[in-house]
């Protein structure tokens, strides 16, 4: 199998529990060695998707392939896809060494081989020295690594991770996030990750599949998902968005003029579908809006506003700024440079940084 070849193919998969359509015609191709994330709110079907791939649920409809092999009917332990559970699911009465060795014991490897592999894997994950303790005697972050070690030692073709970082504190989560990505790249292991944390999804993934109510709403790179969301759900779920409904005034090649209440904006984004008088919604990210103290000669896309409120976040300040009847969120990075804005100011919207959402 080459890199860039499809390693896992999910084709039109549906799964129902009673009245709940947990998965609804889900299709996705996952490349070999890539890191793919299913991202979505609680209850959207992420865990169900992962369990379906792992072989804990049978699908009602559709096919799942690993390489050329249709795995719908292949039992879980023969899929070579290993799942790490959100709560780690370590065996509480076995020590860490035994926990990690468990799968190899079942495979009847020699004690000598097992000891060598456990040692190597623990070293790899920076948890050497913990062999003799039981899970209750190590920290959450260490348990997380043990769970990962227990999966990695089996050298699975596909690694399935269900919100593995959600029980850790913010700082540790950031560190392990970076380590996990490095490890995944180093091993080149095809990884499918599930989270409701958009920051995690953006930071880790080659590909993100945004889910809502059992369906994939958008698939793309983190960049595509963040800058060109297909609808207000994705725009709002991933990052912070100023979402504004307006009307098209006129159209040129490669640019549109739109009215959002009394605000007139030029948008430099080619659009084939919209015509004058059409209603549309735009998405403007808070960090793309500029705050100016003064303006000269009425430059384009500049409006007068009033600072309503702000919060200091260290690296940036988030402002709420009133323009007519609308309130915009604006992020100003490195506040030490500009101080804190108050009272009347001007906002400038970059014509190339306003995204038109294509939904009805
Ligand atoms: N075994 C089950 N029996 C019945 N309903 C289930 C079962 N597993 C999941 N569901 C339902 O299917 C839907 C999807 O659940 P799933 O666990 O996949 O969501 P999720 O996206 O992982 O959510 P979370 O972020 O809260 O973990 C939910 O409405 C859930 O209640
Ligand atoms: Mg879940």
Q: Is the pLDDT of residue 318 over 80?
A: yes
Pocket test for ligand 1, best of 13, 14, 17 (most atoms within 8 A of CB): 17
Domain count for the chain: 2
Q: Is the pLDDT of residue 103 over 70?
A: yes
Q: Are residues 175 and 261 in the same domain?
A: no
pLDDT tier for residue 170 given thresholds of 50, 70 and 90: confident
Q: Are residues 211 and 252 in the same domain?
A: no
Mean pLDDT of 292-316: 93
Mean pLDDT of 333-357: 94
Domain boundary among 206, 237, 268: 237
- Digit-coded pLDDT (tens) for 18-32: 999 999 999 999 999
Residue nearest atom 28 of ligand 1, based on CA coordinates: 43
Q: Is the pLDDT of residue 326 over 80?
A: yes
pLDDT tier for residue 272 given thresholds of 50, 70 and 90: confident
Q: Are residues 13 and 32 in the same domain?
A: yes
Q: Which atom of ligand 1 is least distant from the CA of 40?
A: 21
pLDDT tier for residue 298 given thresholds of 50, 70 and 90: confident
- Cα first-last separation, the chain: 42
Q: Is the pLDDT of residue 1 over 50?
A: no
Residue nearest atom 12 of ligand 1, based on CA coordinates: 22
Evaluate whether residue 1 is within a structural domain.
no
Evaluate whether residue 165 is within a structural domain.
yes
Structure confidence at residue 359 (pLDDT)? 65
Mean pLDDT of 242-263: 93
Mean pLDDT of 259-268: 94
The rounded Å distance from CA 46 to ligand 1 centre is 8
Evaluate whether residue 79 is within a structural domain.
yes
Mean pLDDT of 255-272: 92
Task: List CB contacts of 189: < 8 A, sequence separation 6 or more.
Answer: 33, 152, 156, 157, 158, 159
User: Beta strands of the chain (E only): which ranges?
Assistant: 6-17, 20-31, 35-39, 61-66, 69-70, 81-84, 158-162, 190-195, 207-212, 215-220, 242-252, 255-260, 263-267, 279-284, 289-292, 302-312, 316-323, 326-333, 344-349, 355-357
With a 6 Å cutoff on the Cβ, whether 17 touches ligand 1 is yes
With a 6 Å cutoff on the Cβ, whether 196 touches ligand 1 is yes
Q: Are residues 227 and 167 in the same domain?
A: yes
Q: Are residues 226 and 277 in the same domain?
A: no
Structure confidence at residue 360 (pLDDT)? 55
Domain boundary among 203, 237, 271: 237
With a 6 Å cutoff on the Cβ, whether 23 touches ligand 1 is no
Evaluate whether residue 190 is within a structural domain.
yes
Q: Are residues 129 and 43 in the same domain?
A: yes
Evaluate whether residue 206 is within a structural domain.
yes
pLDDT more than 70, % of the chain? 99
Q: Is the pLDDT of residue 3 over 70?
A: no
Weakest-pLDDT range from 101-105, 162-166, 198-202, 275-279:
162-166
Q: Are residues 15 and 145 in the same domain?
A: yes
With a 6 Å cutoff on the Cβ, whether 56 touches ligand 1 is no
State the CATH number of the domain containing residue 326: 2.40.50.100
Structure confidence at residue 278 (pLDDT)? 93
Q: DSSP per residue over 208-232, as a string?
A: EEEEETTEEEEEE-HHHHHHS-SSH
pLDDT tier for residue 77 given thresholds of 50, 70 and 90: confident
Q: Is the pLDDT of residue 279 over 80?
A: yes
Q: Are residues 107 and 19 in the same domain?
A: yes
Q: Are residues 323 and 205 in the same domain?
A: no
Evaluate whether residue 47 is within a structural domain.
yes
pLDDT tier for residue 270 given thresholds of 50, 70 and 90: confident
Q: Are residues 327 and 224 in the same domain?
A: no
State the CATH number of the domain containing residue 168: 3.40.50.300
Cβ atoms of 241 and 285 closer than 8 Å: yes
Mean pLDDT of 211-239: 96
Structure confidence at residue 267 (pLDDT)? 96
CA–CA dist 32, 38 (Å, integer): 16
How far does Cα 182 stand from its chain's mean position?
Answer: 17
Q: Are residues 45 and 67 in the same domain?
A: yes
Domain range for 179 is 6-237
The rounded Å distance from CA 95 to ligand 2 centre is 27
Weakest-pLDDT range from 16-20, 154-158, 204-208:
154-158
Residue nearest atom 18 of ligand 1, based on CA coordinates: 45
Pocket test for ligand 1, best of 48, 210, 215 (most atoms within 8 A of CB): 48
Q: Are residues 195 and 268 in the same domain?
A: no
HSE (side-chain half, CA atoms, 13 Å) at 256: 26
> Between 235 and 141, where is the model more confident?
235
Kindly report the average pLDDT of the chain as a whole number. Answer: 92
Domain boundary among 217, 237, 257: 237
CA–CA dist 159, 151 (Å, integer): 8
Evaluate whether residue 300 is within a structural domain.
yes
Mean pLDDT of 204-217: 97
Burial profile 147-182: b = 16 or more Cβ within 10 angstroms, e = fewer: bbbbbbbbebbbbbbbbbbeebeeeebeebbeebbe
Evaluate whether residue 275 is within a structural domain.
yes
């Amino acid at each position: 199998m080459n890199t860039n070849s499809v390693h896992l193919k999910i084709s039109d998969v549906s799964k129902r529990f009673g009245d709940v359509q947990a998965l609804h015609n889900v299709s996705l191709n996952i490349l070999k060695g890539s890191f793919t994330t299913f991202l979505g709110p609680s209850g959207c079907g992420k865990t169900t998707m992962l369990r379906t791939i792992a072989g804990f649920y049978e699908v009602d409809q559709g096919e799942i392939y690993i390489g050329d092999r249709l795995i719908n009917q292949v039992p879980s332990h023969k899929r070579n896809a290993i799942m790490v559970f959100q709560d780690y699911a370590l065996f509480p009465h076995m020590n860490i060494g035994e926990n990690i060795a468990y799968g190899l014991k079942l495979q009847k490897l020699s004690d000598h081989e097992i000891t060598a592999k456990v040692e190597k894997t623990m070293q790899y994950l920076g948890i050497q020295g913990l062999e003799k303790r039981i899970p209750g005697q190590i920290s959450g972050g260490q348990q997380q690594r043990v769970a990962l070690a227990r999966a990695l030692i089996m050298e699975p073709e596909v690694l399935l991770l269900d919100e593995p970082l959600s029980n850790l504190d913010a700082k540790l989560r950031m560190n392990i996030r970076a380590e996990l990505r490095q490890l995944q790249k180093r091993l080149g292991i095809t990884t499918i990750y599930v989270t409701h944390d958009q920051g995690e999804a953006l930071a880790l993934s080659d590909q993100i599949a945004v889910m809502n109510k059992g369906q994939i709403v958008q698939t793309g790179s983190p960049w595509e998902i963040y800058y060109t969301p297909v609808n207000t759900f994705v725009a709002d779920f991933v990052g912070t968005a100023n979402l504004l409904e307006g009307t098209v005034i006129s159209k040129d090649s490669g640019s549109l003029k739109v009215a959002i209440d009394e605000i007139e904006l030029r948008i430099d984004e080619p659009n084939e579908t919209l015509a004058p008088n059409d209603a549309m919604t735009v998405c403007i990210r808070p960090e793309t809006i500029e705050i100016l103290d003064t303006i000269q000669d009425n430059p384009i896309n500049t409006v007068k506003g009033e600072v309503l409120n702000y919060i200091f976040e260290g690296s940036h300040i988030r402002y709420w700024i009133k323009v007519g009847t609308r309130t915009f969120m604006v992020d100003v990075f490195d506040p030490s440079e500009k101080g804190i804005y108050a009272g009347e100011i001007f906002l400038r919207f970059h014509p190339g940084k306003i995204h038109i959402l294509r939904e009805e």
